Amino acid sequence: MFKVSATLLLSLSLLIDFATAANTDKPNFIIIFTDDQGYGDLSSFGSKSIKTPNIDRLADEGRKFTSFMVASPVCTPSRAALLTGCYPKRVGMHQHVLFPASTKGLNPKEHTIADHLKGQGYATACFGKWHLGHHPEVLPTSNGFDTYFGIPYSNDMNHPDNKGKPQGGFAGMDVLWKDPQSTLTKWKTPLYEDTKIVELPVDQRTVTRRYTQKAIDFVTEHQDESFFVYLPHSMPHIPLYVPDEVRDPDPLNAYTNTIEHIDSEVGRLLDTLDELELSDNTYVIYTTDNGPWLPFRHHGGSAGPLRDGKGTTFEGGQRVPCLMRGPGIPAGTVCNELAGTIDLLPTIASLTGKSLPRKRVIDGMDITGLLLDTVDKSPRSEFIHYTSRGDLEGIRQGDWKLLVKKARNQRNNNSPKPPQVFLFNLHDDLGEQNNLAETHPEIVAKLKARMIEADSEITDNARSAWFLEE
């Protein structure tokens, strides 16, 4: 009996070792997702005032994507799109952002990046801003993540009803920046661990560092397994805070100070991957949820050469910086082809060799060829533009981009103003300054018909968000 048991134990041990080895053959994934960072806010994307040597390592050692889009110009719908590979309207998360009193969230029935990787035995974690519902039923632990640590909504929101917020505007942000203690005296923003509030108010000076440390600890703990870390930083969304020991007291330097602090923390994480000899088998993706919040001026960032910023469907609102490094990605290369956050789920599925559920329609496309530079053209030929409230507003096909903007603030509803129609050739006019709608009516008509057709399909097949039962 002893010999048989020993043999069985040896066999089981070998099977476990084999399974572990097979699992660790799969690549790891880290997605660093900042908040409200503009296209022009990295050195590698042209910033002359912000120094980001650590983030720029991803450009030097990987691939820079210059035409990378988010599916919404505001937080909640953009994050839903990233995780599900869908336009936010398809998953019912398109109608602006969630607040502390909101009663909806991302439906746990959706198949997220975390769900897909967890189903393959990955250890999964989310450290940072969630903003897809703060109720226990829809927090990260109900959407494929083993663990969560972070702020459940934006860092300018107060628990539980969002009342009592400090004065806004850049002048109000100046006051907060000059008073670092304001993170504790002026706000009631909560910090969650899994499904429980563990700090109220959260000390926002330390969150960027604490999120990063959680990621470092998780990677270290799971270095012998396959892992996925989703690291959605709360910053540089206002109000801006950094640790006291690195703070520049001049509010005019607040945004620069904040981005450079994020950069240093990215450096710590990249150094950890190097020290653990995990860099060669880990995809690191750095991007952001939408463009800069321009009205906040020196607290808001820059869109670089792009028009406008957060909240708009102009390029400054939805074209974002993106850097990717990992196995097979050629170092120091640039991709100018159209891609976006909705493409990450099918691409990650392709990189792991595990197909997505066939019955669940998504809008993302596999851009593995763009990552590895094995194809010249993106599989994505078009991109649909929705407003921050989920209204259909435009489409891009190739270099052509159409926007049809409804007139707002109309006092006389009996005589509504016609919509503003914009047509841009982004190849020749990246800054969207030259409206070609009148000279190319045939292109306007073609694109308008196609965007309505695409939106109709999404609307007809949309799935419901989760709602709190009364």
DSSP 318-334: HEEEEEEE-TTPPTTEE
Measured between alpha carbons, how far is residue 449 from residues 50, 429, 455 in Å? 42, 23, 10
**Would the pLDDT of 378 be above 70?**
yes
CATH value at residue 57: 3.40.720.10
Q: Is 456 inside a domain boundary?
A: yes
**Would the pLDDT of 192 be above 80?**
yes
Least confident piece of the model among 36-45, 189-198, 412-421: 412-421
Least confident piece of the model among 7-21, 204-218, 339-353, 416-430: 7-21
Asked whether residue 340 falls in the same domain as residue 453, the answer is no
Annotated active-site residue 298? The verdict is no
Q: Is 14 inside a domain boundary?
A: no
Asked whether residue 372 falls in the same domain as residue 395, the answer is no
Q: Is 9 inside a domain boundary?
A: no
Asked whether residue 404 falls in the same domain as residue 375, the answer is no
Enclosing domain of residue 443 = 384-467
CA atoms within 13 A on the CB side of 366: 14
Q: Which of 94, 111, 116, 131 is catalytic?
A: 131
Q: Quick one: which of 19, 55, 90, 117 has its CA closest to 323? A: 55
**Would the pLDDT of 409 be above 80?**
no
Asked whether residue 416 falls in the same domain as residue 362, the answer is no
Asked whether residue 430 falls in the same domain as residue 375, the answer is no
**Would the pLDDT of 413 be above 70?**
no
Q: Is 18 inside a domain boundary?
A: no
Asked whether residue 65 falls in the same domain as residue 149, the answer is yes
Q: Report the distance separating Cα 172 and Cα 425, nearest Å.
A: 39
Mean pLDDT in the chain? Answer: 94
pLDDT of residue 416: 76
End residue of a domain, out of 380, 404, 425 = 380
Predicted confidence band of residue 6 (pLDDT cuts 50, 70, 90): very low
Asked whether residue 391 falls in the same domain as residue 367, the answer is no
Asked whether residue 355 falls in the same domain as residue 451, the answer is no
Asked whether residue 322 falls in the same domain as residue 438, the answer is no
Phi, psi of 383 (to 5 degrees): -145, 130
pLDDT of residue 411: 61
Q: Are 470 and 463 in contact (CB under 8 A)?
A: no
Number of domains in the chain: 2
Q: For residue range 211-264, what is the model confidence (pLDDT) as tens digits?
A: 999 999 999 999 999 999 999 999 999 999 999 999 999 999 999 999 999 999
Asked whether residue 446 falls in the same domain as residue 356, the answer is no
Q: Is 358 inside a domain boundary?
A: yes
Number of Cβ within 10 Å of residue 197's Cβ equals 14
Least confident piece of the model among 20-24, 40-44, 112-116, 390-394: 20-24
Q: Report the distance separating Cα 198 and Cα 85, nearest Å.
A: 31
pLDDT of residue 25: 83
Least confident piece of the model among 16-20, 73-77, 351-355, 456-460: 16-20
Asked whether residue 240 falls in the same domain as residue 282, the answer is yes
**Would the pLDDT of 5 be above 60?**
no
**Would the pLDDT of 22 be above 90?**
no
Portion of the chain with pLDDT greater than 70, in percent: 93
CATH value at residue 434: 3.30.1120.10
What does 407-422 look like in DSSP terms, one character per residue? P-S-S-TTSPPPPEEE
pLDDT of residue 4: 43
Q: Is 236 inside a domain boundary?
A: yes
Q: Report the distance separating Cα 249 and Cα 246, nearest Å.
A: 9
End residue of a domain, out of 380, 402, 430 = 380
End residue of a domain, out of 380, 413, 429 = 380
Using a 10 angstrom Cβ sphere, with 0-12 exposed, 13-18 middle and 19 or more buried, the burial of residue 165 is middle
Q: DSSP class of residue 67?
A: E
Q: Report the distance separating Cα 209 and Cα 242, nearest Å.
A: 9
**Would the pLDDT of 420 be above 70?**
yes
Q: Mean pLDDT across the stretch 17-29?
A: 63
Least confident piece of the model among 22-31, 242-251, 367-376: 22-31
At 254, the amino acid letter reads: A
Q: Is 275 inside a domain boundary?
A: yes
Asked whether residue 441 falls in the same domain as residue 351, the answer is no
pTM higher than 0.85, yes or no? yes
Annotated active-site residue 135? The verdict is no
Quick one: tokens of 404?
Answer: 């049809």
Q: Is 89 inside a domain boundary?
A: yes
